[in-house]
Amino acid sequence: MNIGFIGLGVMGRPMAEHLIDAGHTLHLSRVKESSQHLVTKGGRAASSAKAVAEASDIVILMLPDTPDVEAVLFGADGVASGLSAGKLVIDMSSIAPVATKGFARRIEALGCAYLDAPVSGGEVGAKAASLTIMVGGTDKAFERARPLFETMGKNITLVGSVGDGQTAKVANQIIVGLTIEAVAEALLFAKRAGADPAKVRSALMGGFAASRILEVHGERMVKGTFEPGFRIRLHRKDMTLAVDAARALDLALPNTAATQQLMNAAIANGDGERDHSALIRTLDLLAGGSR
């Protein structure tokens, strides 16, 4: 397929590379030194988001936050100004569900289709092409994009209409964030009570408390290795999306809000660029620990 890809960050670079390796023609925006290898492999650097849209039948976005998506879509020389009827825009960023619905309406008014398709799996999943992809949009648009999703991920679900993919991603991030916080509390408790956190974690992995987060992030907490798979700063953004959406729905999410505040404290203490498992450092500080 003839594809545009905008957002060549930690996640976007390997996702775009998988598409090139699968034989698709990729038009790339904002090619930097870290993504120059994509051009070497056959990707085509474009001068603007508008130029990407003009050259492509399908445009994929993988950007940090809601304002970034809005600017790339509708700003000067943005995607919308380069679209023509029949094209498809796929936003794989993790952004606000309500804003997503508004963006979709504006793109659809141009005679184009729109999917929101946020992902879960982090950098590891992006590199392994094993991402979970949660999609919102029409059946027709989903089937058109399915071969691309299957190149980048494994667990691919059409959740519902536009915006429902983002809602699923927010729900995912609530579960992940609260579970990381619970594992951090448990291992910190074990340490302060005089037990070996590594052995406690090993024991828990054989019981009902076992989880992928206890396995992977618990090991990072025990070893104190917090190189980012997914940064606290980015997870805080997702938790803020959850808190904001809950307020709009008059919905109480007390533990989500509390975990968001812990992430605020982690960022204030200089841990924003560490892996989200480093939340245990913030809990340790609250318990009188030191760096």
Radius of gyration of the chain (CA): 20
Q: How many residues does the chain have?
A: 291
What is the β-pairing status of strands 113-116 and 119-120? Answer: unpaired
Residue 88 near residue 117, CB atoms below 8 Å: no
The DSSP 8-state label assigned to residue 195 in this structure reads S
Reported as a pLDDT band with limits 50, 70 and 90, residue 124 is confident
Residue 215: per-residue pLDDT: 96
User: What ranges do the domains of the chain cover?
Assistant: 2-161, 167-286
Residue 145 has a pLDDT of 98
Pick the CATH number of 167-286 from 3.20.20.80, 1.10.1040.10, 2.160.20.10, 3.10.450.50: 1.10.1040.10
169 is known as an active-site residue:
yes
Ramachandran category for residue 42: left, alpha or beta (phi over 0 → left; psi -120 to 50 → alpha): left
How many CB atoms within 10 Å of residue 26?
25
Q: Which letter, b or e, does each residue of 197-217 get, where b requires 16 or more Cβ atoms within 10 Å of its Cβ?
A: bbebbeebeeeeeebebbebb
Q: What is the rounded distance in angstroms from the CA atom of residue 97 to the CA atom of residue 162?
A: 8
Structure tokens of 92?
């794989």
Q: What is the pLDDT of residues 167-220, one digit of tens each?
A: 999 999 999 999 999 999 999 999 999 999 999 999 999 999 999 999 999 999
Q: Which tokens sit at 178?
A: 């609260």
Q: How confident is the model at residue 146 (pLDDT cuts 50, 70, 90)?
A: very high
Instruction: Retrieve residue 46's tokens.
Output: 């474009």
Q: Which helix (H) or strand (E) holds 125?
A: helix 122-128
Q: What are phi and psi of 121, to 5 degrees?
A: 135, -15
The pTM of this model reads 0.91
* Helices and strands counted in the chain (H then E): 13, 9
Percent of the chain whose predicted confidence (pLDDT) is above 90: 93
| pLDDT tens column, 217-234 | 999 999 999 998 889 999
Determine the distance from the C-alpha atom of residue 160 to the mean position of all C-alpha atoms in its chain, rounded to a whole number: 19
Residue 191 CA, chain-centre distance (Å), reads: 32
**Beta-carbon neighbour count of residue 143 at 10 Å?**
10
Query: What are the structure tokens assigned to 221, written together?
Result: 């907490």
Average pLDDT, the chain: 96
Helix (H) or strand (E) holding 187: helix 164-192
Q: Element (H or E) spanning 212, and its range?
A: helix 212-223
Q: Name the CATH topology of 2-161.
A: Rossmann fold (3.40.50)
Residue among 41, 50, 127, 169 flagged as catalytic = 169
Instruction: Note whether 159 and 117 are within 8 A (CB).
Output: no
Contacts of 23 by beta carbon, 8 Å cutoff, 6+ apart: none
Residue 290 confidence (pLDDT) above 80 = no
Q: Could you tell me if 276 and 235 are in contact, meaning their C-beta atoms sit under 8 angstroms apart? A: yes
Give the DSSP H/E element, type plus range, for residue 131: strand 131-136
Q: pLDDT value at position 30?
A: 86
